[in-house]
Structure 1
Amino acid sequence: MMASGPPFALGVETHEGLHALTRAIRAEEDGKELRKELAKNMREALKPGAAEAKSSIMAMPSSGLMSTAPALRSAVAKKIRPEVKLGGRWSGARVKAFKTKNVRGFPNAPKRLNRAGGWRHPVYGNREVWVQQHGKVDWFDRAFQGREGLYKAAVEQAMEDMARRIASRAE
């Protein structure tokens, strides 16, 4: 690396680049604020994807219990959000559908609704009669189909902007 260049590589589209960027942020005096800002910008880049996934689950047809149980689709939609981690065993940005812990005793609802096989459950709590139920297959995956590159580029752009900002300080 040249002495007059930035303290790290500007190509941050790889995990090594992300690790180099987070190390450079830690080395800065206001590193904590820079790290928060980078995470915020990366989450902002993924928000349109999360909104698309939420609208996809809300478009799933619904029939069943009206007012006696919490709404499954809206509970799953509330648990979809962008996640950014800058360190540890996994570093990166993704849109994740978190578990729905207290909704109808169905903590894996986002995962099961996305599977082609669906899930089995007892009919109205009768443990002797079970049925196989299917959700809207690939509702989560289809929300991102064809747009993966767009979201990846937006996250990479947020990382590149922060890298340039830190590099300009070093000059």
Structure 2
Amino acid sequence: MARIEVRGAEQMAELAKRLKGADAKVRRRLSKSIRDGVRPAVADTKRAVLAIPVTGARGGGGKARTEHHLTRVKDPESERARKRAAARSGLRRSIAAAIKADIQTGGRKAGVRIVVDANKLPQDQRTLPRHLNSKRGWRHPLFGDRDRWYAQSGKPWFEVTIRKHVRKIRRTILKAMDELAKEIES
């Protein structure tokens, strides 16, 4: 996915240095404020991927995603676990479930990113969020038949959605940082 940067990372890094000596509750409050500010963008990004229209054949990778979800439960043989895994096995639904905010309040990499956590997807499908975000799309064997290939197109949804929220996220983060900086100084 393309990287969207919001200016102000320098201030965040400076505040992170000052937070090292501060109480852990203060750092947690900053993270919570940032998470609350990013939450609408994450939710909107999830809605955007779910809204991508389904085209062409269905059911190509659902089995792999179902099996992947079953690796994460205690009793993968239970009927309930199989039904829940199958219900979460759609590509768009799996990608939506893997979208999260990654917040770093310390060190040189202080900042906020909205990412698709590839570890939550099956091994062979970890590049699909990037392809689904591209007009160019991708090619894959039709139902596993390597003699017949199918071209699947994508639609930009990731950056387009996040860009709508950048100003508000930035304002929220800067406000939270200013409040905490004032609290630390006093």
> TM-score when scaled to structure 1?
0.79
Does structure 1 conserve the Cα–Cα contact (< 8 Å) formed by 2:49 and 2:92?
yes
Change (3 A) 1:106 1:155: same
Task: Confirm whether residue 147 of structure 1 aligns to residue 165 of structure 2.
Answer: yes
Taking the aligned partners of 1:25 and 1:107, their CA distance within structure 2 comes to 35
Taking the aligned partners of 1:133 and 1:66, their CA distance within structure 2 comes to 11
Name the counterpart of 2:9.
15
Q: Summarize deviations over 1:125-170 as a string: whole Å, max 9, x none.
A: 11222222112x11112213433211211121121121122122xx
Q: 1:27 aligns with which of 21, 29, 33?
A: 21
Q: Which has the larger radius of gyration?
A: 1
Name the counterpart of 2:181.
163
* Structure with the higher fraction of residues in helix conformation: 2
Change (3 A) 1:68 1:112: closer
Name the counterpart of 1:59.
51
Unaligned runs of 5+ in 2: 1-6, 64-88
2:39 maps to a residue whose letter is: K
1:104 Cα offset (Å): 8.2
Taking the aligned partners of 1:153 and 1:96, their CA distance within structure 2 comes to 20
1:82 maps to a residue whose letter is: A
Name the counterpart of 1:95.
114
> TM-score when scaled to structure 2?
0.73
Task: Confirm whether residue 73 of structure 1 aligns to residue 92 of structure 2.
Answer: yes
Secondary structure at the counterpart of residue 132 of structure 1: strand
Secondary structure at the counterpart of residue 96 of structure 1: strand
Unaligned runs of 5+ in 1: 1-12
Secondary structure at the counterpart of residue 105 of structure 1: helix
Question: Percent same amino acid at aligned positions?
Answer: 27
Number of aligned residue pairs: give it.
Answer: 153
Q: 1:85 aligns with which of 87, 104, 108?
A: 104
The RMSD of aligned alpha carbons is: 2.2
